[in-house]
Structure formats: C-alpha cells, structure tokens
Amino acid sequence: GQQLNQSPQSMFIQEGEDVSMNCTSSSIFNTWLWYKQEPGEGPVLLIALYKAGELTSNGRLTAQFGITRKDSFLNISASIPSDVGIYFCAGPGGSNYKLTFGKGTLLTVNP
C-alpha cells in the first residue's frame, strides 16, 4: 500500500522560532492535506493542496505541494505555545478517497 514518510518525528523549539516539516510518499498524490491534532481531540484541517507546485498560506502556516507530486512541506513561522500538537500530513490513496496518514510530527514549543 501507499506509505507516507513524515519527518521529523518530533521537534522541540523555542517560542518565536520557525518550524519546517515534510512528507514524502512512495507514489503520486493528487491532494495533500495537513492536519493538526491536539491531545484528546480530532485532527483539524490546516491546509489543503490540490495542484502540483501550489503554495498556500493560512496565517503563519505555509504549505507546498511538491512538483513531483510525491512530497509536501509545512512551515510554521514565529511559533507560539499554542502551536503545540501533532501535525499529520495525509493524502488520498486508492479508491473511495481513503486517506493515508503520515506518522505525525510532535511539536513542542518552549515559551
């Protein structure tokens, strides 16, 4: 099956620093999605990318759909304590629009 490799697994940063995480797949994806999950909550959609090369921002978050359609990155600028959580990349694989998830990047922001 399709696999998503997400890195890094975890990050410990100081408030104000920029963060970058990425995701690569073994096959081409037509959509890349980035979610954030806080403890005890469901994932919340941050950014959706639908076109190769697309660069989309959502506040301090920026994500890009790689031109090979096999990778995507998410940047967070000027991190703040509430950015803490697990960030998942996801993409549809196979039929029925099932999503394949990366293993997540745990972000810790020290005030």
Positions in the binding site for other proteins (CB under 8 A): 30-31, 33, 35, 40-45, 48, 50, 88, 91-92, 96-99, 101-104
Which of residues 77 and 92 has its CB atom nearest to other proteins in the complex? Answer: 92
In whole angstroms, how close is the CB of 33 to other proteins at the nearest point?
Answer: 6
Tell me how far, at minimum, the Cβ of 50 lies from other proteins, in Å. 6
Nearer to other proteins, 40 or 111 (CB): 40
DSSP 5-45: EEE-SEEEEETT--EEEEEEESS--S-EEEEEE-TTS--EE
> What minimum distance in Å lies between the beta carbon of 78 and other proteins?
26
End-to-end CA distance of the chain: 40
- Choose between 13 and 48: whose C-beta lies nearer to other proteins: 48
Q: Which residues of 26-54 are buried (b: 16+ CB within 10 A; e: fewer)?
A: eeebebbbbbbeeeeeebeebbbbeebeb
Query: Which lies closer to other proteins via its Cβ, residue 42 or residue 111?
Result: 42
